[in-house]
Structure 1
Amino acid sequence: MAIRAIAGILFDKDGTLLDYVKSWVPVNYELARIAAKGDETLARALLEAGGMDPDTGHVAPDSLLAAGNTVEIAAGMVGAGAPFTVEALTTLFDGLFARSAEYAVPVTDLATFFAGLHAKGYRLGVASSDNERSIRETARRFGFDNYLHYVAGYDSGYGVKPEPGMVLGFCAATGLTPDQVAVVGDNNHDMHMGRSAGVGLTVAVLSGTGSRQSLAAASDHCLTDITELEAVL
């Protein structure tokens, strides 16, 4: 593996570009309220089923709320007692997630960060378990949409994490081979997606729900956050 050959970087969004705790813990509380139709006891049970402590807000690594896509989260909530169909709850959650882009907190100045990588010639993309609309609204809001060569959400037609499809779609869009790509993310769904696609580098960050311990096995590097990325490239 020649690390110098990395020519494209595919980023996860939540917990990687965005600070997970500041951006998503408030959304998770709202998600549970919606799914429970305001029943506080049920809302607590739904959060626990999703892997979040309703008192502390801590989200367990690789849990449903940490790593699931919208359909998976909706199905988990319905399975735990939410009085909806999976389809109806998915629609509600997708709307909530798209609106939540307005309240997201970035890990760093993303416009400057992406401009720097773009200037060095890297092909850049975002692959998220969120919906594509939310990703594009986040990119517009933080001023890095013009630097992206590729955007994939769970609903973009490339499959879902940890399958390799989003990486292979990035390769098709940029003309790169998987061994020229680095995948950067905060949980094992990202790392396993990269490994299953045969990428040249998997880089874990600790700005999301993962820990050094939970991410060690599937990542080549584990960084505090994306601001340390250029050092390993």
Structure 2
Amino acid sequence: MKKEADRTPIAGILFDKDGTLLDYARSWVPVNYRIARLAARDDPALADRLLKACGMDPESGHVLPDSLLAAGSTREIAEGMVKAGAPFTVEALTAEFDGMFKEGAAAAVPVTELAPFFAFLKAQGYRLGVASSDNEASIRETARRFGFAGDLDFVAGYDSGYGIKPEPGMVLAFCAATGLKPESVAVVGDNNHDLYMGRAAGVGLTVAVLTGTGSPASLAAASDHCLVDITALPGLLERLGLGVGVGAAQ
């Protein structure tokens, strides 16, 4: 890890969505129950088995860090459930889940008021993006619903053609779209998939947040800093002296 004084100023911030911008437990645990029931064709015992196979305790609703339901793409979740016995093809279940996740955006709970948060960062001069393991349509619906779509320079889902986490493709595509070098980008997420994606791309800063399924212990290896939630990010960048500066663009 570089010393803070040796780092390039951060000029772009790439956020994960679920567990980072949206409170994971309040937004997606109810959806997880619904997709499991659908995948099990309303067989309660099978639905419980599918949830367990993908990392969620069906009784408590607790989701394991870095499990399929915590960090997997829609297709990976579908693959996990089919492998565990869901009577669907992966393709059919992926299509069903994509629709349900897009609908789920309508009931999602943000971790803060996202419109003023993104407007503030944009006014500071940051280039902003969202990279999620969800589908691109769900990300755009979330941004539209919470009023920050106009502040985004980049959106990528698992189906956008840039690869999936923890591969570096989404970060590199963000850099290509904004004219930034990876070392001037911060990746912010609640799972190691997000953080290792950033590390693989060579970003300047990886920041973990605790509004998802990760814990300080589970996120320690891949994060430069761990915050309670995204509202602490502007203060962190200010304290580190890594705000928008000259020399970040290519």
What runs of 5+ residues in structure 2 fail to find an aligned partner? 238-250
Contact 2:35–2:97 (CA under 8 A) maintained in structure 1 = yes
What's the CA shift string for 1:150-174, capped at 9, x where partnerless? 0000000000000000000000000
Contact 2:140–2:155 (CA under 8 A) maintained in structure 1 = yes
- State the distance in 2 between where 1:232 and 1:181 align: 14
SS at match of 2:188: strand
TM norm structure 1: 0.99
What's the CA shift string for 1:69-109, capped at 9, x where partnerless? 00100000000000000000000000000000100000000
Match of 1:78 among 64, 82, 100: 82
Identity %: 74
Match of 1:54 among 38, 41, 58: 58
- State the distance in 1 between where 2:148 and 2:103 align: 18
- State the distance in 2 between where 1:176 and 1:122 align: 11
- State the distance in 2 between where 1:34 and 1:201 align: 39
Match of 1:88 among 86, 92, 97: 92
Aligned AA (1:225): D
Contact 2:11–2:184 (CA under 8 A) maintained in structure 1 = yes
The number of aligned residues is 233
Matched, 1:124 2:128: yes
SS at match of 1:113: helix
Match of 1:153 among 150, 157, 164: 157
- State the distance in 2 between where 1:90 and 1:188 align: 23
Matched, 1:110 2:114: yes
SS at match of 1:155: coil
TM norm structure 2: 0.92
* Alpha-carbon offset, residue 231 of structure 1: 1.5
- State the distance in 2 between where 1:168 and 1:217 align: 22
- State the distance in 2 between where 1:12 and 1:43 align: 27
What runs of 5+ residues in structure 1 fail to find an aligned partner? none
SS at match of 1:5: coil
Report runs of 4+ in structure 1 exceeding 3 Å deviation: 1-4
Distance change (3 Å), C-alpha of 1:4 and 1:198: closer
- State the distance in 2 between where 1:30 and 1:185 align: 25
Matched, 1:15 2:19: yes
Aligned residue in 1 for 2:247: none
Residue correspondence of structure 1 range 122-201 to structure 2 within 5 A: 122-201=126-205
* Alpha-carbon offset, residue 58 of structure 1: 0.2
Whose radius of gyration is greater, 1 or 2? 2
* Alpha-carbon offset, residue 223 of structure 1: 0.3
